[in-house]
């Protein structure tokens, strides 16, 4: 099977990561590349690390240029994917890397994004386990529209789902996470200048206002079978890529406090997952070990004094957190091996 693939938003960080991975995908033939303000320029002006595609000219992002492909990735800002996707034929597999189709609750979308809800698509996190024991893989098989998770929700969901599925955790979660600057996109902003970021960490979106909060609550509620409240504090870290999420939740009354018994829920849940690794005891995740890989590294501890479970997860926000997760989900939708074209090994040092 040779798939003709288009990428909208090819000049951005997520678009560039999609193209890097697609170049190594044995079933992908890269077709039209589009952009908004960069339309008419060549790709090498924006993605010089992709010499195989250097001479490609970016086309306008519209249905006319995206038509005629088997698979279309939309790496666009929130609010931009909905109109484009609505104009594409229903038989084309469309994978939205933006936020437009992630949330099931239109009221939550309106509250956090301030615009009309574009609708809900199958959620592209194969490892998400439902309270009844089924996984999101069942939903993604054969799907023609896929909503890729946000990068923070990917890390937080993978960190906590085993504890909720096992009935260990109270439905009240505190998350503090740090992300590299690429998570904010490629647009020029003073707070993202190197001289502002280097040697400094800065919180933002504090007090429950970050747009990924309802998505985290949606995912964890899916696993828990009941509403879950998330208090989320994101932080900007002086690195280009990566997320480290520290997630805490109290153990339910009657749940074991023995670290081995608690940790077993994570080890057993992820034993067969190709992209999620529970690290050996005593070893903690590092963002550096996930760079360029479609992997999530997880470690679990129990604070017996406070009856809290502490889970730390690391991902590359551009790979597993965006482009890698998108291709992983597209593989499932197209009945291809889930791991096809996706790197397990990171870069070091």
pLDDT tens digits for 37-61? 999 999 999 999 999 999 999 999 9
339 is a domain residue = no
Let me know whether 291 and 324 are in one domain: no
110-119, 263-272, 304-313: the lowest-pLDDT one: 110-119
Q: pLDDT tens, 138-174? A: 999 999 999 999 999 999 999 999 999 999 999 999 9
pLDDT of residue 188: 61
Residue 307 has pLDDT above 90, yes or no: yes
- Phi, psi torsion values for 93, nearest 5 degrees: -80, 115
Q: CATH number for the domain including 267?
A: 3.30.360.10
d(CA 154, CA 220): 11
Let me know whether 192 and 308 are in one domain: yes
Let me know whether 324 and 313 are in one domain: no
Strand pairing class (3-8; 71-74): parallel
349 is a domain residue = no
Strand pairing class (28-35; 3-8): parallel
Reported confidence tier of residue 197, pLDDT bands at 50, 70, 90? confident
pLDDT of residue 196: 79
pLDDT of residue 195: 67
Contact call for residues 250 and 170 (beta carbons, < 8 A): yes
Reported confidence tier of residue 78, pLDDT bands at 50, 70, 90? confident
What's the whole-number mean pLDDT along residues 50-77?
A: 96
Contact call for residues 325 and 125 (beta carbons, < 8 A): yes
What's the whole-number mean pLDDT along residues 115-128?
A: 96
Name the active-site residue from 97, 151, 247, 314: 151
Let me know whether 35 and 135 are in one domain: yes
What's the whole-number mean pLDDT along residues 282-310?
A: 97
CA atoms within 13 A on the CB side of 293: 20
Q: pLDDT tens, 203-250? A: 999 999 999 999 999 999 999 999 999 999 999 999 999 999 999 999
Residue 182 has pLDDT above 70, yes or no: yes
In 229-288, DSSP assigns E strands to 229-236, 243-251, 276-278
In the predicted model, what is the mean pLDDT of the chain? 95
Tokens encoding 31: 């077709």
d(CA 131, CA 255): 18
Residue 10 has pLDDT above 90, yes or no: yes
Let me know whether 145 and 272 are in one domain: no
Q: pLDDT tens, 16-32? A: 999 999 999 999 999 99
Let me know whether 84 and 195 are in one domain: no
Let me know whether 106 and 222 are in one domain: no
Cα dihedral: 20, 150, 72, 291 (round 10) = 10
- Which structural domain, as residue segments, surrounds residue 191? 152-317
Let me know whether 291 and 194 are in one domain: yes
Q: CATH number for the domain including 26?
A: 3.40.50.720
Residue 52: count other Cβ atoms within 10 Å of its Cβ.
11
Count of domains forming the chain: 2
For the CA atoms of the chain, what is the radius of gyration? 19
Reported confidence tier of residue 184, pLDDT bands at 50, 70, 90? confident
pLDDT of residue 69: 97
pLDDT of residue 154: 98
Residue 251 has pLDDT above 90, yes or no: yes
275 is a domain residue = yes
Helix axes 13-22, 324-333, angle to 10 degrees: 50
Is 192 or 20 the better-scoring residue by pLDDT? 20
Active site residue 151: yes
Let me know whether 120 and 200 are in one domain: no
CA atoms within 13 A on the CB side of 18: 34
């Amino acid at each position: 099977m040779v798939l003709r693939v288009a990428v909208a938003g090819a000049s951005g960080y997520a678009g560039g990561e999609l193209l890097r991975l697609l170049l190594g995908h044995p079933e992908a033939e890269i077709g039209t590349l589009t952009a908004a303000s960069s339309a008419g320029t060549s790709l090498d002006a924006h993605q010089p690390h992709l010499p195989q595609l250097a001479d490609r000219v970016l086309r306008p992002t519209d249905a006319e240029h995206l038509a005629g492909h088997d698979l279309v990735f939309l790496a666009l800002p929130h609010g931009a994917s909905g109109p484009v996707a609505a104009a594409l034929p229903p038989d084309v597999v469309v994978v939205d890397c933006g936020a437009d189709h992630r949330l099931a609750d239109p009221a939550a979308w309106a509250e956090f994004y301030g615009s009309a809800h574009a609708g809900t698509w199958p959620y592209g996190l194969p490892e998400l386990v439902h309270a009844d024991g089924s996984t999101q893989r069942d939903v993604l098989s054969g799907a023609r529209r896929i909503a890729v998770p946000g990068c923070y929700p990917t890390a937080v969901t993978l960190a906590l789902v085993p504890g909720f599925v096992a009935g260990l955790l109270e439905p009240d979660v505190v998350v503090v996470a740090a992300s590299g600057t690429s998570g904010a996109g490629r647009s020029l902003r003073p707070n993202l200048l190197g001289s502002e970021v280097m040697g400094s960490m800065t919180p933002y979106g504090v007090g429950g206002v970050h747009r990924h909060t309802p998505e985290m609550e949606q995912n964890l509620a899916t696993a828990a079978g009941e509403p879950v409240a998330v208090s989320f504090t994101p932080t900007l870290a002086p690195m280009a890529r990566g997320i480290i999420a520290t997630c805490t939740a109290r153990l339910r009354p009657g749940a074991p406090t023995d670290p081995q018994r608690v940790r077993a829920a994570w080890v057993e849940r992820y034993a067969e997952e190709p992209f999620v690794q529970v690290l050996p005891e005593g070893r903690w995740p590092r963002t550096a070990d996930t760079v360029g890989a479609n992997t999530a590294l997880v470690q679990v501890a129990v604070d017996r004094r406070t009856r809290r479970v502490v889970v730390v997860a690391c991902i590359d926000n551009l790979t597993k957190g965006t482009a890698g997760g998108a291709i992983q989900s597209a593989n499932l939708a197209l009945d291809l091996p889930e791991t096809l074209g996706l790197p397990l090994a990171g870069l070091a040092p």
